[in-house]
């Protein structure tokens, strides 16, 4: 009788542990997807900044500015 009662309590404890583990896993996956979205947004911003920087460092830009100012 004691063994059956102990077994049922251990089974209940194991099931509660599995349930807590699943809840924590869902939370971790949500957090990871949020961080991935933020990383993708940061990568897009970095790419745009690099594009503008490469345009501003172009050797043709001063020539264009001079032509615009003289016309």
pLDDT one-digit tens code per residue, 7-63: 999 999 999 999 999 999 999 999 999 999 999 999 999 999 999 988 888 888 888
Give pLDDT, residue 7: 94
Decide: pTM greater than 0.75: no
Q: What is the per-residue burial (b if ≥16 Cβ within 10 Å, else e) of 32-71?
A: eeeeeeeeeeeeeeeeeeeeeeeeeeeeeeeeeeeeeeee
Q: How is residue 18 written in tokens?
A: 């599995």
Give pLDDT, residue 44: 97
Give pLDDT, residue 67: 86
**What contacts 61, CB < 8 A, 6 or more positions away?**
55
């Amino acid at each position: 009788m004691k063994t059956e009662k102990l077994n049922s309590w251990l089974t209940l404890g194991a099931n509660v542990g599995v349930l807590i583990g699943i809840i924590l896993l869902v939370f971790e996956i949500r957090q990871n997807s949020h961080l991935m979205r933020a990383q993708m947004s940061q990568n897009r911003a970095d790419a745009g900044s690099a594009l503008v920087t490469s345009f501003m460092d172009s050797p043709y830009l001063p020539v264009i500015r001079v032509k615009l100012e003289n016309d």
